Amino acid sequence: MNEVIIATKNKGKAKEFERIFGSKGIQVKTLLDFPEIPDVEETGLTFEENAIIKADAIAKLMGKMVIADDSGLEVDALEGRPGVYSARYAGAEKNDSANTEKVLQELAGVLERDRTARFRCVLAVAAPGEKTVVYSGTCEGRILTEPRGTNGFGYDPVFFVEGKGKTMAELPPEEKNKISHRADALKKLEKSLDLGNGEGL
């Protein structure tokens, strides 16, 4: 395999997939390269449902194998919110800093030990005429009271990774890509697909 299509319009995800696959000589195309492809409505109630909805719809439209990523943040003190609504938590315009601000406000007064959270990522691989398969990954952490760092995207500046002593946005991209929910799911996907030179991602 020397090229892979990721069914996403999210620039932050696109960068991460480009870096991870690129380091193995696999070229990444995303929906940002195909502006004529319409948006797919994410009507599912779980990451898995949404990943499958996106992958199936785009594989059908493009007539090719694609990988879709549905991901988000689950905060325990908020009963798992923002969850599948992570991209649009503060409104349909998908504003990362407004979403983060909303989570911080909802957590106001919640003690450090009760601010546990995780990122979750479900990857769905779909190809015309084949059964769609999914791979799931997580990354545990806790939500700080203020943003720190400028790398990454989304909620990364407030997501503190205990083992690293840093927020996701303070980690260099190559570090995030070793420990993230997306990396976790990709490792599982990679085991069951023939990706590149067989040496893994």
Ligand X SMILES: O=c1[nH]c(=O)c2ncn([C@@H]3O[C@H](COP(=O)(O)OP(=O)(O)OP(=O)(O)O)[C@@H](O)[C@H]3O)c2[nH]1
Active site (catalytic) residues: 70
14 vs 87, which CB is nearer to Mg ion? 87
By the rule CB under 6 A, 177 interacts with ligand X: no
By the rule CB under 6 A, 170 interacts with ligand X: no
Q: How many CB atoms neighbour CB 85 within 10 A?
A: 13
Cα distances from 81 to residues 73, 117, 149, in angstroms, run 7, 10, 23
* Residue 141, binding choice from Mg ion, ligand X, none, Cβ under 5 to 8 Å by partner class: none
Closest distance to ligand X from the beta carbon of 128 (Å): 20
Q: Contact at 8 Å (CB) between 28 and 22?
A: yes
With vertex at residue 156, the alpha carbon angle to CA 118 and CA 146, rounded to the nearest 5 degrees, is 100
Terminal CA-CA length for the chain:
12
Q: Contact at 8 Å (CB) between 107 and 125?
A: no
Closest distance to Mg ion from the beta carbon of 17 (Å): 15
Amino acid occupying residue 139: C
User: Is the bond preceding residue 82 a cis peptide, omega within 30 degrees?
Assistant: yes
* Residue 177, binding choice from ligand X, Mg ion, none, Cβ under 5 to 8 Å by partner class: none
Closest distance to Mg ion from the beta carbon of 115 (Å): 25
Which phi and psi angles does 106 have, rounded to 5°? -65, -25
Closest distance to Mg ion from the beta carbon of 155 (Å): 15
Q: How many residues does the chain have?
A: 201
* Residue 72, binding choice from ligand X, Mg ion, none, Cβ under 5 to 8 Å by partner class: ligand X
- Which of 4-12, 110-118, 142-150, 192-200 is the region at the interface with ligand X (rule: CB under 6 A)? 4-12
Chain residues 126-155 in contact with ligand X, contact rule CB under 6 A: 152-155
* Residue 119, binding choice from Mg ion, ligand X, none, Cβ under 5 to 8 Å by partner class: ligand X
Contact pick of 1, 18, 24, 42 for ligand X (by CB under 6 A): 42
Q: Please check if 41 is assigned to a binding site.
A: yes
By the rule CB under 6 A, 20 interacts with ligand X: no
With vertex at residue 18, the alpha carbon angle to CA 14 and CA 20, rounded to the nearest 5 degrees, is 120
Question: Which helix (H) or strand (E) covers residue 116, if one does?
Answer: strand 116-126
Which residues contribute to the site for ligand X (CB under 6 A)?
8-10, 13, 42, 69-73, 86-87, 99, 119, 152-156, 159, 168, 180, 182
